[in-house]
Amino acid sequence: MNNSKYWIKIGLIGFFSGIINGLFGAGGGTITVLALTFILGIDQHKAQATAISVILPLSLISGFIYYSSGFTEINITLKVALGGIIGSYIGSNALNKIPSNYLRKIFGFFIIIAAIRMVLS
């Protein structure tokens, strides 16, 4: 792949992931996983692990802006974060135990369920 085209794709993936994450408070990782697998051809395991690493700085910036604007329920945030820390430890350790084809199907299933819930709400 042409080096400049590669960097443009990487930059656009980051840009759109950041917009989605900032606008909706979630979804940047989903965009990142889809883009890394379908646009850059990265393995599902690596795409999901990379997306988590990418989301950290995006979430810190968005979280700070949300908090500064008074949108964050800090008491709930801390409680959910504690559960999230435990769940992320378990989930990240389980990632390598799930074959890529199942991982992609599970990921797709959750995207479909989320989409249906959003449309019907």
**Confidence category of residue 12, pLDDT binned at 50, 70, 90:** very high
Q: What is the pLDDT of residues 36-83, one digit of tens each?
A: 999 999 998 899 899 988 888 888 888 899 899 999 999 999 999 999
The confidence score (pLDDT) of residue 9 equals: 93
The confidence score (pLDDT) of residue 109 equals: 92
State the Cα torsion 54-55-58-60 to the nearest 10°: -120
Give me the mean pLDDT over the 7-13 stretch. 93
pLDDT of 26 strictly over 80: no
C-beta atoms surrounding 52 within 10 Å: 15
Interaxial angle between packed helices 44-68 and 28-38, expressed in degrees from 0 to 180 and rounded to the nearest 10: 150
What's the pTM value of the predicted model, to 2 decimals?
0.73
pLDDT cut 90: percent of the chain above it? 50
